[in-house]
A and B are shown apart, each in its own frame.
Chain A
Amino acid sequence: NAGVTQTPKFRILKIGQSMTLQCTQDMNHNYMYWYRQDPGMGLKLIYYSVGAGITDKGEVPNGYNVSRSTTEDFPLRLELAAPSQTSVYFCASKGQGVNQPQHFGDGTRLSIL
């Protein structure tokens, strides 16, 4: 099993450009999450999904959008990229049940210049 796969691994964007960060998981997990991690800091939740067709905002959703058309995929869209969105983005998934751990992808390192 590949687990949680994120693409691309690195990307440089110009201010005002848009892009989609891809995330797919092959564990049939219902719960999926997008976090951002700024240098030397902890994880901040951007958006999450409890199943296909259902998404909700986390702590820092402004400037981002998500969709969940399938169980496997949970893309994160950046519209009008800004320097403040320079960060490492992690996608994670979790199986059913309160005590299940989250499984993280390798991350996408994004720079906005």
Chain B
Amino acid sequence: GQQVMQIPQYQHVQEGEDFTTYCNSSTTLSNIQWYKQRPGGHPVFLIQLVKSGEVKKQKRLTFQFGEAKKNSSLHITATQTTDVGTYFCAGPRNAGNMLTFGGGTRLMVKP
């Protein structure tokens, strides 16, 4: 079945450093979604990418969808303590009615 892998599993950064998490799918995706889960919280939808090679920005966050639509990345420029949390990518399956979530990347930021 479809598998979605994320690396790294954990990342410690100093505040102000950049951060990147990578997402790889075993199958071609029609789209990819990114979610953020703050410590003790629930996943919250951040963004969706649909087109091959698409790049979207949200302030300091840059999301990319690979040309082959099998991988994606999230890059945070100049991390802040408010960026702390776990970032999940998710790919659709079952005609888009379900999501396969990656294992997540937990970001910790030292002030």
**Per-residue contact bits, chain A 78-113, to B (CB 8 Å; 1 contact, 0 not):** 000000000000101010011101111111000000
Residue pair B30, A104 in contact (C-beta under 8 Å): no
B42 touches A107 (CB 8 A): yes
With contacts A98-B92, A99-B31, A101-B33 taken as known, whether A41 is within 8 angstroms of B45 at the C-beta atoms is no
Whether A48 sits at the interface, judged by CB under 8 Å, is yes
Most A CB atoms within 10 A — which of B31, B45, B98, B101?
B98
A98 with B45: in contact, given A41-B103, A43-B88 (CB under 8 Å)?
Answer: no
Distance in angstroms between the alpha carbons of A103 and B44 in the assembled complex? 7
Residues on A with beta carbons closer than 8 Å to the beta carbon of B92:
98
Q: How far is the CA of A33 from the CA of B90 in the complex (A)?
A: 15
Contact A42 B31 (CB under 8 A): no
Q: Provide the residues of chain A in CB contact with B101, threshold 8 Å.
A: 42-43
**A27 CB to closest chain B CB, in angstroms?**
13
Contact B98–A48 (Cβ < 8 Å):
yes
A31 at the B interface (CB under 8 A): yes
